[in-house]
Structure 1
Amino acid sequence: MSSPGSSSPRFRRPASLFPSTAEAIPGDPDPSTSTDLAHDSAQALLDGVFHSSDPEVVERVLRLAAQDGLSDLAALWSGSPASTLPGALWRLYVLHTWVQHSGEDVVHRYRAGSRTIPGLRYLSGFAEPPDVQQVQRTMDDILRGAFTGDLALALTRAGAVATIVAHGTAQLADEDPGPQRTRQAERLLSTGEELAMAGRHAEAGRLD
């Protein structure tokens, strides 16, 4: 990413990482019912895993999006703000799914971003730029930690990963200008900021 005084495009703040996923879900349920269902389902999932001693339950939740696709989660959670539990979990699952499906691309962007903001590497979990297997395992650990350990820390770490990848995407856009990379950088930065905010809300006990 270029210095503040450069002519590089400034990040905007879009609503979500992949809005087309949510737009593909047909129909508009009653807003109040949808909100209640989003919160109740997210809390039930979190509580159910947290209080379970069965490791298979944890692994099923970890692979929830991979097995059933993001569309089911989108129907429940994608309309929720990042400051809510369903909204935070939705962003976490989308980021996790993208890393699992596009590991090489993510690592390429991460390495470029880690040169720009190296301090966030430690928060994300990497002292050195990772390889594909490392970044995928780390996102597994982050998602697992959201359900079995410290939710605030998991969201904060995910926010750091998204922010580093956003800056790397912007750096690559500077080297090879194009509207697609710029838009991706903007959306990734928005997601990183939203996850970091959700982590702060969780730490304060205000992630409803």
Structure 2
Amino acid sequence: MPPHDSSARRFRRPAALFPSVAESIPGAPDPSTSSDLAHDSARALLDGVFHSSDPEVVERVVSLAADDGLTDLAALWSGAPATTLPGALWRLYVLHTWSQRHGEDVVHRYRAGSRTVPGLRYLSGLAEPPDVHEVHRTMDDILRGAFTGDLGLALRRAGAVATIVAHGTAHLADEDRDDERTRQAERLLSTGEALTAAGRHAEAGLLE
């Protein structure tokens, strides 16, 4: 399934990642505490990778995303607004995971939408026409760039990919008169817009 901001329910609850914190809270966790944990963990991961002198640290983060190693963190981040650091990383993580698992589908949708928004093709960084290998490589590069270089640009590139794929999904839905694909197109467009907005916040120093 394409990225969906409300798909957090499909992920495991994140309490196991923070047992000492979970045990100290009676009953259900306080939403404000969960929000603090989301922001703190996102910043710690981003800063830890960015300031690391070991290049293998970055590759481990990319590998973790591909292998579901960030599932607990993603669940913690999933409730955060799009224009916050945990919310932006959540959407980037979901888009990356979907593209890795369903590369052929992403390629098909991307090719169907790339002519509609040609300006975004250059921002996405995908070669024309892309194949599955190119999609995987580009999404890895975007994720790597979020942690090592320009976070704002990485988020805007991811937003461009999601937006192009959204337009392609809408075209395919129209051709097949497929209502489910129409809904997928709307969710993908929402994800693309959210990532783009987060990228602009990051460039303005407002992504916290």
Please state which band the TM-score falls in when normalised by the shorter chain: 0.7 to 0.9
Contact residue 99 and residue 139 of structure 1 kept, 8 A: yes
Q: Report the Cα distance in structure 2 between the residues aligned to 1:179 and 1:70, rounded to whole angstroms.
A: 32
Q: Deviations over 1:100-126 (max 9, x none)?
A: 000000000000000211111001013
Specify every segment of 5 or more residues in structure 2 that has no aligned partner in the other structure, as ranges: 16-27
> Per-residue deviation at 1:54?
1.0
The match for 1:39 is 39
Change (3 A) 1:30 1:162: same
Conserved in 1, the CA contact under 8 Å of 2:11 and 2:72? no
Which region of structure 1 is more displaced relative to structure 2, 22-31 or 59-68? 22-31
SS in 2 for 1:100: helix
The amino acid that maps onto 1:179 is D
Q: Within 2, Cα distance between the matches of 1:80 and 1:96? A: 18
- Deviation of the 1:24 alpha carbon: 4.8
Partner residue in 2 for 1:190: 190
Question: Normalization by structure 1: what TM-score?
Answer: 0.87
| Residue in 1 that maps onto 2:50 | 50
Aligned residue for 1:7? Answer: none
Q: Which residue pairs with 2:79 in the alignment?
A: 79
Letter in 2 for 1:117: V
- Aligned positions of 1:1-208 closer than 5 A: 17=4, 19-22=6-9, 24-25=11-12, 29-69=29-69, 71-208=71-208
Contact 2:113/2:164, CA 8 A, preserved across alignment: yes
State the identity %: 79
Residues 101 and 77 of structure 1, relative CA distance in 2, 3 Å threshold: same
Give distance in 2, aligned partners of 1:109 and 1:68.
24
TM-score, reference length from structure 2: 0.87
Structure of higher RCO (CA pairs closer than 8 Å, 6+ residues apart): 1
CA contact (8 A) 2:114 2:168 kept: yes
